[in-house]
Chains A and B, each alone.
Chain A
Amino acid sequence: MSTFTFLLGCCAAVMFFSLFLYVVFGQVTVRKLRKNPETRSDLGLEFASGWDILNVAQALATPSKIHKVLESGQLSFLHANSDLIKKHTNFFDKIIAIIFFWSFMGSAMSMLALIGLDKLNFFS
């Protein structure tokens, strides 16, 4: 197995794990928020069903300073309201959100970076 295949395989495994967490987080946390009339309309724009799971995870996992910037612009409707969501979630929800969101984003980005490096003949 070449180095590239091995590294890509590690990213793939992390991505797979994060997709598993995506389902767990959706069922445990976001379902609760969707049912709650107070938070229901503040989960951000849903491009496709399930997109709000990402919005909520992003709101919980990114530092609130950065997220406040996202929530203040013209495109604020894309993102979830982090203050409101933090108020309605517990410590456990936040932990899953952080693990899920960063392993998901991290693996996707490292996979793309690896593909990019491979295209530049970095591994040959």
Chain B
Amino acid sequence: MTTLLLCNRPLSAPAIQLACNANFQQYSELHSSAPQSAKANTPYLLNGHNDAQGKRIQSLLAPKHISKPVTELALTFGEDNTVAIAAMMEQLKDYNIALTGASTSVYGERISGFAKSVKEYQVALLTYREAKQSKAGYQAQLKQRAHHAFNRMQAQFRAELHMVTSHIRSRRGTPLTSAERGTNIAGSSRNVAKLQLSSEIDAHRLVRLSQHTKLLGNGLAVIDFGSRVGKVHNSYQTGGEWEKDLFRESLSFGLSAGTGVATAKIGAAVLGILVVATPIGWVGLVIGGLAIAGASAGAAMAVNEVTQSNADAWYEGIMGAISGVES
């Protein structure tokens, strides 16, 4: 376990002691061992956890464009929740890749609706937090709004929520399972967060989460295409073959979306013919609809996977052909 300390404004050692009962002498900065006071948006590592992994995690979170959103997230959602949400978003994203294909089908509509409702709730929480911090007068109203957004999310997407939160084990609940907990955390005016990460995987997830929140402003809902763009952008920054990545990502997006839609369309036609030919009831229609949605999601997923693995060969082929024509 690696423990990190983050704060959103410069704080002296006694202030940290007061805020979260931590002895700042026990923490070290990335390149200096005994800092006198804490700087804003800088990860400090607990000395007892000063092993190689701890150092790697610290340096991973050290860049300003990462540590700032991570600090903000940890203060808004609570430390343990931030790590849990990062894991959850990762899962939601995996699921999204399959679903962008079917995003135009009924099922996809539902998932994008779910992502939207999570986002609305989170925006409500963040607005509430802002109001609380600036001591604005309409806090109660904003708190009410966050509760409403939570209830709407609960009422409409109970099954999906259960699926994504079932693996989160937090004693006091998370903002996704309790609106009270959400508004409590968002409303607390803390400046210091103590993050506990069990491995580098956690740290990587956090980094990705923080980058998505930057990409989409306040919203945490990760859009699949956003992550695809992120992939291309990363490869551009690291000097990789970004043109090839762009080709692969945009092609697999287009093709899997197309296939998902085509499958859903054929399914609807088959169902239409079945309805005319047989005395199928409404229950049958619902089951048929679910089967079609599942099939189109599956088809989209399969095409996405296969396109991803073949696109590089096509890219090489096309490039080879172009250079052949040129010479």
Contacts and interface: CB of A to CB of B under 8 A. Distances in A.
B108 to A, nearest CB: 7
Closest 3 CB pairs of A and B: A108-B262, A73-B276, A73-B275
Interface string B230-267: 00000000000000000000010011001101111110
Chain B binding site: helix, strand, loop or mixed by DSSP? helix
Chain A binding site: helix, strand, loop or mixed by DSSP? helix
B271 A5 contact: no
Interface in A48-79: 48, 50-51, 54, 58, 69-70, 72-76, 78-79
Interface of B: 103-106, 108-109, 251, 254-255, 258-259, 261-266, 268-269, 271-273, 275-276, 285, 299, 302-303, 306-307, 310, 313-314, 317
Interface stretch (A11-19, A28-36, A84-92): A11-19
B269 A47 contact: no
Q: How large is the interface on A (under 10, 10 to 19, 20 to 34, 35 or more residues)?
A: 35 or more
B136 to A, nearest CB: 37
Nearest to A106: B262
Contacts of B310: 4-5, 8-9
A70 B104 contact: no
A105 B273 contact: no
Given A78-B268, A108-B259, 17 more contacts: A1-B317, A12-B251, A16-B254, A18-B258, A50-B104, A54-B261, A74-B285, A104-B262, A105-B265, A108-B261, A108-B263, A108-B303, A111-B303, A112-B263, A112-B303, A115-B306, A118-B306
A2 to B, nearest CB: 8
Contact of B266 (A1, A16, A47, A105): A105
Interface string A107-121: 111011001001000
Contacts of B263: 108, 112
Given A5-B310, A74-B285, A69 B303 contact: no
